[in-house]
């Protein structure tokens, strides 16, 4: 069974994965990645972020982003652009907070329109705004909010829309996969942007989960609730980590958890696709970010399929 083939047969647009430039020199890795019956979509894990694309004001470096975009084209895979505006991996020339309202507005407009315009026609969907909220539902007090208040998503979305009118424009967030203050805050932002006619097409559910702490039915409810606002939804960064070492019991629970997450997307018509945040434990971001945790992906670090793979396939 191949995951993208199964997803498309079940009328989803894609099953995909994150990837990153340094991994592409690993021929064992690319031998599996390059199969578009397995992965019909890729997302660059780092090379389209602000620090990679515009490290100095007005200096744009697309080489590594282009490598991922070219790979998507060569392999006939959809491409998700990630991302335009985010507090993290943001160069200090932006984050140091010395811009006026007018200046930061034009900095955002120039960044978003140059980035999205460069890849015009090549990107299925852009994460235009990434992680705007704190877990308690307040706005993240980054340079964008501190300078521009609640208006910055609209500024970014409008610039992106003008640069590529055919790309789906998303807000991407985590800890909205269950009911709570953060999901409520994002839902009300989506409502207000839609009613103001701002170009917003989708909401991305990152889905960085923990084995044994996954509620598929809770996720399905949230996907439906957001879709009812007239947006599509997608699982954009799925992984399910565990406290190491991995055990047969943890791997079995992980299979169950992957199955219930995929089932949630399959049960919601507006859920267009699923992206794992890399398919192999060899290149997962988890161990370096969450101390003592890992083994979050459906393939192990030797590129052998884990029980999680079968959990995914069975749900598609």
Residues catalogued as catalytic? 131, 237
From the number of C-beta atoms within 10 Å of its C-beta (0-12, 13-18, 19+), residue 61 rates as: middle
Lay out the site mask for ligand XIL across 227-266 (x = CB under 6 A, - = otherwise): ----------x-----------------------------
Q: Report if residue 46 touches ligand XIL, rule: CB under 6 A.
A: yes
Give the bridge partners for 140, in sequence order.
none
Site for ligand XIL in 97-126 (CB under 6 A): none
Q: Report if residue 47 touches ligand XIL, rule: CB under 6 A.
A: no
Closest CA to 74 of 109, 112, 120, 39: 39
CB count in 10 Å sphere of residue 187: 18
- Distant-in-sequence, close-in-space partners of 243: CB < 8 Å, separation ≥ 6: 250, 292, 293
Distance CA 167, CA 48 (A): 16
Q: Report if residue 45 touches ligand XIL, rule: CB under 6 A.
A: yes
Smaller CB separation from ligand XIL, 276 or 313? 276
Q: Figure out which of the listed residues 15, 29, 285, 299 binds ligand XIL, where binding follows CB under 6 A.
A: 285
Lay out the site mask for ligand XIL across 168-207 (x = CB under 6 A, - = otherwise): --------------------------------------x-
Q: Figure out which of the listed residues 41, 130, 260, 280 binds ligand XIL, where binding follows CB under 6 A.
A: 130
From the number of C-beta atoms within 10 Å of its C-beta (0-12, 13-18, 19+), residue 132 rates as: buried
**CA dist 208 to 76, 167, 282, 297, 308, Å?**
27, 25, 17, 11, 15
Q: What are the two backbone dihedrals, phi and then psi, of residue 60, each rounded to the nearest 5 degrees?
A: -105, 130
Smaller CB separation from ligand XIL, 46 or 260? 46
Q: Report if residue 283 touches ligand XIL, rule: CB under 6 A.
A: no
Smaller CB separation from ligand XIL, 270 or 275? 275
Q: 3-state secondary structure string, 126-138? A: EEEEECCECCCCC
Total chain residues near ligand XIL (CB under 6 A): 6
Smaller CB separation from ligand XIL, 295 or 313? 295
Q: Report if residue 275 touches ligand XIL, rule: CB under 6 A.
A: no
Position of minimal CB gap to ligand XIL:
285
Q: How many helices (H) and strands (E) does the chain have?
A: 13, 10
Smaller CB separation from ligand XIL, 260 or 284? 284
Residues that bind ligand XIL (CB under 6 A): 45-46, 130, 206, 237, 285
């Amino acid at each position: 069974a191949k995951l993208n083939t199964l997803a498309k047969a079940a009328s989803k647009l894609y099953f995909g994965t994150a990837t990153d430039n340094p991994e592409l020199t690993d021929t064992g890795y690319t031998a599996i990645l390059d199969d578009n019956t397995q992965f019909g979509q890729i997302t660059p894990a780092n090379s389209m972020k602000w620090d990679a694309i515009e490290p100095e004001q007005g200096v744009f470096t697309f080489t590594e982003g282009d490598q991922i975009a070219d790979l998507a084209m060569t392999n006939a895979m959809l491409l998700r652009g990630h991302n335009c505006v985010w507090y993290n991996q943001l160069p200090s020339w932006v984050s140091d907070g010395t811009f006026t309202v007018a200046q930061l507005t034009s900095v955002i407009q120039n960044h978003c329109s140059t980035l999205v315009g460069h890849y015009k026609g090549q990107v299925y969907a852009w994460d235009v705004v990434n992680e705007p909220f704190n877990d308690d539902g307040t706005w993240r007090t980054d340079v964008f909010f501190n300078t521009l208040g609640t208006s910055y998503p609209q500024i970014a979305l409008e610039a992106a829309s003008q640069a590529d009118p055919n790309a789906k424009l998303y807000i991407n967030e985590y800890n909205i996969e269950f009911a709570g203050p953060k999901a409520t805050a994002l839902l009300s932002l989506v409502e207000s942007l839609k009613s103001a006619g701002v170009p917003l097409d989708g909401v991305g559910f990152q889905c960085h989960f923990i084995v044994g702490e996954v509620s598929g039915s809770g996720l399905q409810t949230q996907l439906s609730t957001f879709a009812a606002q007239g947006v599509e939804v997608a699982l954009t960064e799925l992984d399910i980590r565990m406290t190491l070492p991995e055990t047969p019991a943890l791997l079995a629970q992980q299979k169950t958890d992957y199955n219930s997450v995929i089932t949630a997307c399959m049960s919601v018509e507006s859920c267009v696709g699923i992206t794992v945040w890399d398919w192999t434990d060899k290149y997962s971001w988890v161990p370096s970010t969450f101390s003592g945790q890992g083994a979050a992906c459906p393939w192990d670090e030797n590129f052998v399929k884990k029980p999680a793979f079968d959990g995914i396939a069975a749900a598609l």
